[in-house]
Structure 1
Amino acid sequence: MIRLYHFPLSPFSRKVRLTLAEKKLEVELIEERYWEASPDFLRRNPAGKVPVLRIDTKTLSESQAICEYLEESVPTPALMPRDLDGRFEVRRLCAWFDDKFNAEVTSKLLYERVNKKIMGQGYPDSKNVKAGAVRIKYHLDYMAWLLDQRRWLAGDVMTLADLTAAAHLSCLDYISDVDWNRSAVVKDWYAKIKSRPAFRALLADQIPGFPPPAHYADLDF
């Protein structure tokens, strides 16, 4: 049995959900209001963060560690390159999106527009929202630069780097904070990932009080 404690608009949860789906592993999804820090949840992960993956008697936390555990335990289809340099590049880009992109963009837009209200932490900080809206342009341009040289973000095949980036961008697309007209190559890249069977569950997500835009689940934008 595989059970994932997650929150629908957590990019880190989505990253693990995409990995599980690409590996064709059946999973029971349990929505976790992690900010309430329930004793049961803190016993699963004292860090108080989602996602947490339960596989039989094992409890796993931290999205990158979970995804690499899944990659090593279920190696097909491969989401990491076999060569050393390729694996380095995938890990570098995963860190780019989970650390830099999250700090500069996801936390500034998603947290301010959605999480604050859900968690009862007040109103959006307009300075943070403005900062996130500015920084996402830089990141989209960087992705365009990568994709001008490669078929996928880290090379010629889809990897965990693409799933990580798509996890963050899909959360922001849910709240209409991605300008897909800024780069045709980035838009085409996202359309390829968005149309994969592994993405279907994400496109069905609904957050009460925050309906997604019409284009969110439209495979043709």
Structure 2
Amino acid sequence: MPVLYHHWLSPAARFVRVLLAEKRIGFDLRIEKEWDRRPAFLALNPAGEVPVLVMDDGKAYSGVMAIAEFLEEVVPEPALLTGSADERYEIRRLVGWFHTKLGSEVTRHLVTEKLFKRFFGMGEPDSEAIRCAAHNLKIHLKYITFLVERRHYLAGQQFTMADAAAAAHISVADYFGNIYWQDWPHVKEWYVRVKSRRSVRTLLSDKIKGLAPSPHYSELDF
């Protein structure tokens, strides 16, 4: 069975988990503390980052979008990168937006300040970084609102990689209780639809000992 190396709140690994589940590919999860820089893990991915997907033949795949494109090629149905060239472009653009822009402006700050610094002795949380993440999160939630006011899902009428990428990051922010859902009704409506998918529900069972998620984190109707 394929093995996916991940850690608890890695949005990139969560994204790949959703894709694997959507395509009904069975896999085992293996926690990788990438900050330990294990030689055996570096042999799989010299970048030292999760996710890494090791297939049954022993081949290791890394790079979040490279893995996504690989899965789309080897298991084409159900398609998560679909439509015309312009429609596929839009899906790719949004996946890049969430992993790069939302990731660097919001998720990375939250995980570093609220998880890593607390559990791994990396110093006191930087309150300015947390405030910056909260400010940036509002900008991204406004953008998601703009999208879902015009589309059923983020890139169009059906669930795609774009929704998987956004859900991966939003689920991390929601774990920490950083989203005040009453202020974002359109985003909430979209997230309820996404959260109800079996592929996303698997993420919501993740719990970190000593760091409880927000009370509504795993609720499908909240």
TM-score by length of 2: 0.97
Match of 2:65 in 1: 64
Residues 113-169 of structure 1 deviation map (CA, whole Å, 9 limit, x = unaligned)? 112223321121011000011111110001101111111111111100000000001
Match of 1:176 in 2: 177
Cα RMSD for the two superposed structures: 1.0
Question: Equivalences for 1:90-109 in 2 at 5 Å?
Answer: 90-109=91-110
CA distance in 2, matches of 1:28, 1:62: 18
Aligned length: 221
Question: Equivalences for 1:68-87 in 2 at 5 Å?
Answer: 68-87=69-88
Match of 2:128 in 1: 127
Identity of aligned residues (%): 46
Match of 1:200 in 2: 201
Q: Which moved more, 1:199-208 or 1:128-137?
A: 199-208
Residues 172-193 of structure 1 deviation map (CA, whole Å, 9 limit, x = unaligned)? 1111011212221110100111
The alpha-carbon deviation at position 82 of structure 1 amounts to 2.9
Answering whether residue 150 of structure 2 is matched by residue 152 of structure 1, we say no
Match of 1:42 in 2: 42
Match of 1:111 in 2: 112
CA distance in 1, matches of 2:9, 2:25: 21
CA contact (8 A) 1:140 1:183 kept: yes
CA distance in 1, matches of 2:144, 2:213: 24
The alpha-carbon deviation at position 14 of structure 1 amounts to 0.1
Residues 46-71 of structure 1 deviation map (CA, whole Å, 9 limit, x = unaligned)? 10100000012210001111011101
> Where does structure 1 lack aligned partners over 5 or more consecutive residues?
none
Q: Secondary structure at the match of 2:101?
A: helix
CA distance in 1, matches of 2:133, 2:36: 26
CA distance in 2, matches of 1:159, 1:204: 22
Q: Which amino acid in structure 1 is aligned with residue 6 of structure 2?
A: H
> Where does structure 2 lack aligned partners over 5 or more consecutive residues?
none
CA contact (8 A) 1:35 1:119 kept: no
Q: Secondary structure at the match of 2:220?
A: coil
Match of 1:162 in 2: 163
Q: Which amino acid in structure 1 is aligned with residue 72 of structure 2?
A: E
CA distance in 2, matches of 1:118, 1:67: 30
